[in-house]
Amino acid sequence: MKRKYWKWYVIGAAAVLVAVYFAVPTVRTYVDHAAAVLGSADVGAVVDFIRSYGAYAAVISFLLMVFSSVIAPLPAFLITFANAAIFGWWQGAILSWSSAMAGAALCFFIARALGRDAVEKYAGKGALASVEGYFQKYGRNTILVCRLLPFVSFDAVSYFAGLTSIGFWSFFLATGVGQLPATIVYSYVGGMLTGGVKYFVTALLCIFALSILGVIAKGLYNDRQAKKAAGEKKNG
């Protein structure tokens, strides 16, 4: 019964947001512009967009990150780069980390309220299926493992976690710890993006290096789990 009520709360909130989007020109302009800027994959455009709001830049960045978390195809790392370029790397890291956490929590509760059928239609059946493989393989450690792997969809993990029996605080803690390394690296690199092509290439190399580290960490974890399973089987 409780889940049923939450489902209608989410549907009601979504209906209100859609109504506001169509009824308030300012909101519609902001959302359309934000989607276009993120879709351009241009860090400079994202920086200019956030800076254009002056004293409210941090608030706009926060909302933008939450927006990108819920709308899976939009690249959140661009916002992380932009935050570092605007606010400095460590202040930008704090802003990016906290807003991404808010977005992850929202995705989690949306999935828990609406159920699998609705989430598959919204987030994509293929994306959820790929994440489901990680949950089957790593069990309770899935959230932490996936957050350490840059090539695994942040949003899909949050949505799928909401469909499982995992508790919110366990999910929230693993997300916070797991996404911290990537946030720090992206923010540090983002702080150098104002230097032109040279620094952009450096950013790409750092992202590539982070991905490699993620693959290595995944391999080490797999080996450890395999040895543990073999030991338990032998002792059994």
CB 104 within 8 A of CB 65: no
Residues 6+ apart with CB under 8 A from 70: 103, 106, 107, 110, 155
Predicted pLDDT at 192? 67
| 173/3 Cα distance (integer angstroms) | 23
Mean pLDDT of 92-110: 93
| 209/203 Cα distance (integer angstroms) | 10
CB 43 within 8 A of CB 77: no
Does residue 141 register a pLDDT over 50? yes
Does residue 21 register a pLDDT over 90? no
CB 58 within 8 A of CB 87: yes
SS (H, E, C) 82-102: HHHHHHCHHHHHHHHHHHHHH
CB 154 within 8 A of CB 102: no
- Express each pLDDT in 106-115 by its tens digit: 999 998 888 8
Cα distances from 2 to residues 16, 153, 172, in angstroms, run: 21, 29, 21
Does residue 116 register a pLDDT over 70? yes
Predicted pLDDT at 1? 47
Burial of 202 from C-beta contacts in 10 A (0-12 / 13-18 / 19+): middle
Q: Map residue 9 onto helix, strand or coil.
A: helix
Mean pLDDT check: name the lowest of 7-16, 24-33, 45-54, 156-165: 7-16
Closest CA to 77 of 57, 59, 92: 92
Predicted pLDDT at 61? 93
| 190/86 Cα distance (integer angstroms) | 9
- Express each pLDDT in 26-84 by its tens digit: 888 888 888 888 777 788 888 899 999 999 999 999 998 988 888 755 677 788 888 99
- Express each pLDDT in 164-198 by its tens digit: 888 899 999 989 988 888 888 778 777 765 544 44
